[in-house]
Structure 1
Amino acid sequence: MPFSGSSSFTSPTREARPTVRPTGGWRAVLLVMLVGVVTVVSLDLATPADFRTRALLGLLPMGVAVLTSVMTTAMVTGGMLVVYIGLQLVSPVPSGGWGVVGPLLIATGGLLGVLIARRREEQHARLQAVTAIAEATQRAVMRAVPEHVGNLHIADFYQPAARAARVGGDWYDVQPSPHGVRAVLGDVSGKGLPAVSASASLLGAFREAGYHEADVREVARRLEIGMQRYSAWARVMGEEELPDAFSTALLLHFPPGTDAVDIVNFGHEPPLVVGADGRVHTPEVPPGVPLGMGALGAALPEPVRLPFGVGDTLVLFTDGVTESRDDDGVFYPVRDRLPGLVRELPADAPPGELLRRLVHDLHGHRHGSTSDDTAITVVRRTAGNVAPYAADTDAVLYEPARAQPPRDQYATDMRERACPSRSTSSTKAIA
């Protein structure tokens, strides 16, 4: 089941922060110099001979220091000295020590400007290093979703609530497997680093179980175990920022050779289905308990099979969409707005175009900055049969030992059950 590319529409937040760049440029530096020099020279020539403002040229190196490099700041300092000497030749100051004070002030301003520029470059270098680490973390936690997985065409959008963040509590991914394509979209309770840690734990569980397990019910059970294991580990480590974490989620399974999709709803907003004829409806997918609440004794939700033929589209989203408010505090009515957006689309428009218009409409409705992470995934089935996916041709069957682990303070209720794997494994399985 081949896959290629990346999503056809990417979050504006991601696009806006690929790299941290210097504050200014040559145009800004030239503008500051031009305005500063013209202002100081004009005032200097307009004032009486016993009151000159040319010494104010020493402020310009400090001004350009916040916009450019150490070398450019030093060159600007030299240029201000040349301007000062030129003014001295045209209109010399009265005799005395004032002729020396001006160059000293300019040299002092230039020295301070060089120190400012050097400090800014050091901070910029550290910020670049932190940004690179953040990007690596994003790729590890929220890897890019392929644009095509078999006969599925996918587009995704993600915008963390924190302006400086690159990951958050919303999590989603697509995992091809020998048993069909699996997809997931969820929202962890809480915010900040604990929510990121929980979402990373759930994504790891999904990527492993989504590839290996033949039954989507087993994938769902493994996600529940992953959520409980994270909570148990947080308690052991004394991390109380996110006590008794839970996550809503939609788990999707696209069985090969069928025009259907199986959906497991862990207390999440049900998806929207756009039929090949352009009609939009909300399918009947009863919500179960969120992930992490299985320890309370509640049964895991059962998968619901829905028809999903060629040309049909699924739209999945988190509560960052539905809880966006306008100026009057009205929530964004995505289920009412989507049919109108679909009618405006050309018949052959890809999922990315529908996603782009939905995000644009959402941003037009939203007042101010978002207070919650926002994730949207659009999946469309295209024509063509797809062969089962395998990580490589050397995969071997394995059956792990069924020994019961010893109970301790880290154990969870779900770990008492056997967890055999009944599918193909490989050391080269997809990350």
Structure 2
Amino acid sequence: MSGQGTGPVRRGLGPWRHGDSGRSPLDRLPRAGDPDALRRQHLLRVRGRSVAWIPPLLVLVTILQVDWYTGGEFRTVSWIVLVPGIAAAICGVWGTAVFAVLGVATYALADHAWPRQYQTGLPDFILVGVGGVLAVLACVVRVRGERRMLHMRDVAETTRRTLLRPLPPGWGGLDHAAVYLAADAFARVGGDFYDIQPGLHGTRALVGDVQGKGLGAVEAAAALLGTFREAGYHEPELASVAARLETRIQRHGLHLAALGAGEDVDRFATAVLLGFPVGEPDIVEVVNFGHEPPLVVGPRGVRSLPPGHGLPLGLGELAHMDGPPPTLRIRLAPGETLLVVTDGVTEARNGDGVFYPLKSLVREGVLADPQLTEPDRLVTFVRDGTLRHGGGHLADDTTIFAVRRS
């Protein structure tokens, strides 16, 4: 859910990115949805100092030179009205006000330097003065809007970090990496979720995708993660954690129904619940709630785990399921990594409508670079490949999660 957006990978922290093992060329492109205010701040600074005043000053000097060298029949001094307008687009309020005053003063001096028959006179003087006032007012509106936008960005970032909390390296005895790319780059948070929870009976991990978008999906993801963090710590069996998750999303739906939330009541979530039991270093337990089966990526190749027969979270009661989906016990060889992705990866399409061939490309990547089995390198590889395949466009929230025992 991170923005979030794109960027280097974060080990255990989404959108975006610790353990960067190399930047994609796409990282250097402007990100869709990045506020213009932030881009301007980076472009108009040199060694930490603002140079936003240089463009309007250059325009002012150019206008004066053109006016001086073109003769009295072709006066351009009134074009000074453009200077505060340019400043309003890139400078602060005080900077724009300075250029507005400077424009009026410069106009008066430059115009009176010419013989009377060539002076542009009072109308153009008024034009420059009124233009400066309007430029200052426009700058005030722009700056207020940017501050409001940056505040909303901070709120979204706080929400994202609350939902997708930062995970320390080696958390729960696992080597892990994750990246979350929000399809809505302004919101920076959506319905994808993941977490790792060490507990009394081993370490558990959860990766999932809530159906739909918007705040309703975020609420459902938050409800599931809250339950996972408690049940994953206390429950002795992974099946009990799975049952608690199913119960939680049903209770969430009942609560929304009581509030009259309409279509949000019927939300469901696909998910993969992983368990790394104590004393069994080569075993991982898997409960699949209708999610794309994880891939096992190792030095000897890539294989898919069995799909299981579980329905998404929230649909178990409708299907009259008696208990959670079965728990699969999978044996992993040393160096093998589990890769779990959401449909932002598997349903990414190129210009010809071809889906992203995740498994085959990962297999080719491992053959070319055996170190690709490391979680951070693997997540970076899949992220870059997904963005490249889709031309940098994300049709859905995208989560890429890789984990193995340390």
- After TM superposition, the score normalised by the length of structure 2 is 0.84
Give the equivalent residue in structure 1 for 2:277. 255
Give the equivalent residue in structure 1 for 2:354. 330
Aligned-partner residue type, residue 38 of structure 2: R
Q: Higher mean Cα deviation, 176-185 or 70-79?
A: 70-79
Task: Report if the CA contact (8 A) 1:10-1:157 is conserved.
Answer: yes
Equivalent of 1:312, from 306, 312, 336?
336
Equivalent of 2:90, from 67, 81, 86?
67
Alpha-carbon distance between aligned partners in 1 of 2:243 and 2:16, rounded to the nearest angstrom: 34
Give the equivalent residue in structure 1 for 2:217. 195
Please state whether the residue corresponding to 1:241 is helix, strand or coil.
helix
Q: How does 1:97-108 map to 2 (within 5 A)?
A: 98-108=120-130
Alpha-carbon distance between aligned partners in 2 of 1:21 and 1:162, rounded to the nearest angstrom: 17
Please state whether the residue corresponding to 1:38 is helix, strand or coil.
helix
Give the direction of change, closer, same or farther, for the CA distance of 1:93–1:211 in structure 2 (3 Å limit): farther
Pair 1:173 & 2:177 matched = no
Alpha-carbon distance between aligned partners in 1 of 2:366 and 2:116, rounded to the nearest angstrom: 75
Aligned-partner residue type, residue 305 of structure 1: R
Aligned-partner residue type, residue 283 of structure 1: L
Q: What is the CA distance between 1:87 and its match in structure 2?
A: 2.4
Alpha-carbon distance between aligned partners in 2 of 1:112 and 1:189, rounded to the nearest angstrom: 48
Task: Report if the CA contact (8 A) 1:268-1:287 is conserved.
Answer: no
Aligned-partner residue type, residue 324 of structure 1: A
Please state whether the residue corresponding to 2:263 is helix, strand or coil.
coil
Please state whether the residue corresponding to 1:66 is helix, strand or coil.
helix
Alpha-carbon distance between aligned partners in 1 of 2:354 and 2:371, rounded to the nearest angstrom: 31
Q: How does 1:263-342 map to 2 (within 5 A)?
A: 263-275=286-298, 277-296=299-318, 297-299=320-322, 300-342=324-366
Pair 1:244 & 2:261 matched = no
Aligned-partner residue type, residue 244 of structure 2: R
Q: Deviations over 1:168-199 (max 9, x none)?
A: 11111111111111101111111212111111
Alpha-carbon distance between aligned partners in 2 of 1:174 and 1:167, rounded to the nearest angstrom: 18
Equivalent of 2:403, from 366, 373, 379?
379
Alpha-carbon distance between aligned partners in 1 of 2:12 and 2:369, rounded to the nearest angstrom: 16
Task: Report if the CA contact (8 A) 2:196-2:203 is conserved.
Answer: yes
Q: How does 1:107-256 map to 2 (within 5 A)?
A: 107-256=129-278
In structure 1, list runs of 5 or more residues that go unmatched.
Answer: 1-5, 383-431
Alpha-carbon distance between aligned partners in 2 of 1:287 and 1:377, rounded to the nearest angstrom: 22
- After TM superposition, the score normalised by the length of structure 1 is 0.80
Q: Deviations over 1:87-146 (max 9, x none)?
A: 2354345278x4333433222222111111112222222222222221221122221233
Aligned-partner residue type, residue 7 of structure 1: R
Please state whether the residue corresponding to 1:205 is helix, strand or coil.
helix
Alpha-carbon distance between aligned partners in 2 of 1:309 and 1:349, rounded to the nearest angstrom: 12
Task: Report if the CA contact (8 A) 2:153-2:186 is conserved.
Answer: no
Task: Report if the CA contact (8 A) 2:344-2:396 is conserved.
Answer: yes
Alpha-carbon distance between aligned partners in 2 of 1:354 and 1:348, rounded to the nearest angstrom: 5
Please state whether the residue corresponding to 1:294 is helix, strand or coil.
coil
Pair 1:21 & 2:16 matched = no
Give the direction of change, closer, same or farther, for the CA distance of 1:167–1:13 in structure 2 (3 Å limit): farther
Alpha-carbon distance between aligned partners in 1 of 2:153 and 2:249, rounded to the nearest angstrom: 29
Higher helix share: 2
Task: Report if the CA contact (8 A) 1:279-1:339 is conserved.
Answer: yes
Q: What is the CA distance between 1:155 and its match in structure 2?
A: 0.4
Give the direction of change, closer, same or farther, for the CA distance of 1:190–1:8 in structure 2 (3 Å limit): closer
Give the direction of change, closer, same or farther, for the CA distance of 1:52–1:18 in structure 2 (3 Å limit): closer
Alpha-carbon distance between aligned partners in 1 of 2:115 and 2:379, rounded to the nearest angstrom: 68
Task: Report if the CA contact (8 A) 2:63-2:77 is conserved.
Answer: no
Give the equivalent residue in structure 2 for 1:425. none
Alpha-carbon distance between aligned partners in 2 of 1:376 and 1:18, rounded to the nearest angstrom: 25
Alpha-carbon distance between aligned partners in 2 of 1:66 and 1:132, rounded to the nearest angstrom: 23
Q: Deviations over 1:337-371 (max 9, x none)?
A: 11112223354874211211121111111146222
Q: What is the CA distance between 1:12 and its match in structure 2?
A: 5.0
Please state whether the residue corresponding to 1:242 is helix, strand or coil.
helix
Q: What is the CA distance between 1:309 and its match in structure 2?
A: 4.2
Give the equivalent residue in structure 2 for 1:398. none
Give the equivalent residue in structure 1 for 2:24. none
Alpha-carbon distance between aligned partners in 2 of 1:46 and 1:95, rounded to the nearest angstrom: 12
Aligned-partner residue type, residue 190 of structure 1: G
Max Rg structure? 1
Task: Report if the CA contact (8 A) 2:63-2:79 is conserved.
Answer: no
Give the equivalent residue in structure 2 for 1:57. 80
Q: Higher mean Cα deviation, 151-160 or 217-226?
A: 151-160
Alpha-carbon distance between aligned partners in 2 of 1:366 and 1:200, rounded to the nearest angstrom: 29
Superposition RMSD in Å: 2.7
Task: Report if the CA contact (8 A) 1:142-1:173 is conserved.
Answer: yes
In structure 2, list runs of 5 or more residues that go unmatched.
Answer: 1-9, 19-26, 45-49
Alpha-carbon distance between aligned partners in 1 of 2:265 and 2:12, rounded to the nearest angstrom: 37
Report % sequence identity: 38
Give the direction of change, closer, same or farther, for the CA distance of 1:44–1:240 in structure 2 (3 Å limit): farther
Give the direction of change, closer, same or farther, for the CA distance of 1:13–1:80 in structure 2 (3 Å limit): farther
Q: What is the CA distance between 1:159 and its match in structure 2?
A: 0.9
Q: Deviations over 1:34-84 (max 9, x none)?
A: 1454146415642644x5331221221022112111111122123323432
Give the direction of change, closer, same or farther, for the CA distance of 1:18–1:308 in structure 2 (3 Å limit): farther
Give the equivalent residue in structure 1 for 2:23. none
